[in-house]
Amino acid sequence: MAHAHSHEHPPTKPTKQEQETAQREISEVAPNLLRMQLPIMMPGLGHVNMYALLDERGAAVVDPGLPTPSNWKAIQDRLAQAGLRPKHVHTVIVTHSHPDHFGGAARLAKESGAEVVAHRSFRFGVMETTQDPEVSVDDLSAAGENDEAHRRVLAGWNHRTPWGGQHPRPPLKMRLRWRLARWLGHSFVPAVTKPVRAGEVLRVGRREWVIRHTPGHTEDHICLHDPADGLFLSGDHVLPSITPHISGLAFSKDPLDTFFHSLDQAAAVPDVKLVLPAHGHPFTDLPGRCHAIKQHHYDRLDTVKRIGRELGPATVQAFSQKLFKPRSWGEMAESETYAHLEHLRLAGAAEVHRDADGYLIYQTG
Ligand SMILES: [Zn+2]
Ligand SMILES: [Zn+2]
């Protein structure tokens, strides 16, 4: 997110590596494995890493960026530096259902007939499109794979969030574009031709990658582990210097707890020598980074409890505006605050009721 006054007040913190502008130069981070940076402009992010896994058939790529013409140009440019063209990409691996990760997949599949690999629960739109006012917070948690509940959750933009806030509608231009794309039948969401599950082995890039299902940031998040060389493609699950957004609008009853379990799972993967994240630089200490991310959330939970003591019974929005800086206020901040409050409630450290206006009111102990 742009900082309006950065020229007047030099930032006290250096730029996070995940914010760095995409570099044109590609780099070989392991034998037959290239890091290619694609440009994105999202809050706190300046690039996404597309990894190219080279083999005798051409290349598999991981997370090919946004569904935009400029991204497509960047893909062609980065591949060309490795002597490749889009038609040489035989497999596209998508770590999770966010547009900066799957956006280039549909185009690559169209150009080269590439296989599209993602977790079998891959689904875009669940967390971004809420809420039918008839769907209660309990319905949402219990919905799971229930299609009827899912359809109802997807029913509208302009309804309330489970905690009673107003869900902001995406800009009209974007809604019309999506509607048009759907009408024309070429959605930017790729068709997953090879759905995978935990423990499956994917043979690409002269390596055998073990699929690890790591829900939390999204339900369908996967990491890929090469035990032979100790390589770990971590997607957004474990990033070097920022923590991924944990949405309260997940089907999991306790998304934060789900994320903790997935961090424990990643930390327990033996002998990882190099972590290849979707944003930022490759790094080495996977258990250490998993531990630090958990500690960040434990600190946040303590802060939420302290805020609760200051505020007394309060809405999710009120909690979020104490927890986050004003420039971050909004639905994403509320969603993450809601995930933390629900985690506390399920641990017996908070109580909740719905007030007459339909807002959830939390009280921490
Ligand atoms: Zn993501
Ligand atoms: Zn991401």
Dihedrals φ, ψ of 56, to 5°? -65, -20
Task: List pLDDT tens digits, range 242-265.
Answer: 999 998 887 788 999 999 999 999
Q: 313: CA distance to ligand 1 center in Å? A: 32
**Per-residue pLDDT, 149:** 39
Q: 226: CA distance to ligand 2 center in Å? A: 21
Burial status of residue 337 (CB atoms within 10 A of its CB: 0-12, 13-18, 19 or more): buried
Q: 246: CA distance to ligand 1 center in Å? A: 9
**Which ligand number lies closest to the CA of residue 124?**
1
Decide: 226 and 281 in contact? Cβ < 8 Å.
no
Q: 348: CA distance to ligand 2 center in Å? A: 32
**Per-residue pLDDT, 352:** 95
Q: 236: CA distance to ligand 1 center in Å? A: 5
Q: 237: CA distance to ligand 1 center in Å? A: 8
Q: 102: CA distance to ligand 2 center in Å? A: 10
**Per-residue pLDDT, 43:** 77
Which residues of the chain have a pLDDT value below 70?
1-14, 125-159, 166-175, 177-187
Q: 36: CA distance to ligand 2 center in Å? A: 15
**Per-residue pLDDT, 146:** 40
Question: Pick from 270, 275, 277, 278: which is nearest to 286 by CA?
Answer: 275
Instruction: Say whether 261 sits in a helix, a strand or coil.
Output: helix
CA 71 → CA 41, 44, 298, 330, distances in Å? 11, 18, 37, 28
Contacts of 129 (CB under 8 A, 6+ apart): 153, 154, 156, 157
Q: 93: CA distance to ligand 1 center in Å? A: 14
Contacts of 249 (CB under 8 A, 6+ apart): 126, 127, 130, 140, 161, 162, 335, 338
C-alpha to C-alpha distance for 263 and 291, rounded to whole angstroms: 8
Q: 279: CA distance to ligand 2 center in Å? A: 7
**Which ligand number lies closest to the CA of residue 247?**
1
Decide: 352 and 365 in contact? Cβ < 8 Å.
no
Q: 134: CA distance to ligand 2 center in Å? A: 31
Q: 39: CA distance to ligand 2 center in Å? A: 12
Decide: 205 and 54 in contact? Cβ < 8 Å.
yes
Q: 235: CA distance to ligand 2 center in Å? A: 7
Q: 125: CA distance to ligand 1 center in Å? A: 13
Question: Pick from 158, 135, 141: which is nearest to 339 by CA?
Answer: 141
Question: Pick from 227, 270, 283, 207: which is nearest to 52 by CA?
Answer: 207
Q: 228: CA distance to ligand 1 center in Å? A: 27
CA 237 → CA 6, 68, 259, 340, 364, distances in Å? 29, 24, 8, 17, 28
H or E, element range at 110: helix 105-112
H or E, element range at 197: none
Q: 278: CA distance to ligand 2 center in Å? A: 6
Q: 267: CA distance to ligand 1 center in Å? A: 19
Taken as a whole, the chain contains a residue count of 365
Decide: 168 and 188 in contact? Cβ < 8 Å.
no
**Which ligand number lies closest to the CA of residue 42?**
2
Beta-bridge partners for 92 = 61, 116
Beta-bridge partners for 225 = 210, 232
CA 317 → CA 320, 331, 337, 357, distances in Å? 5, 9, 8, 14
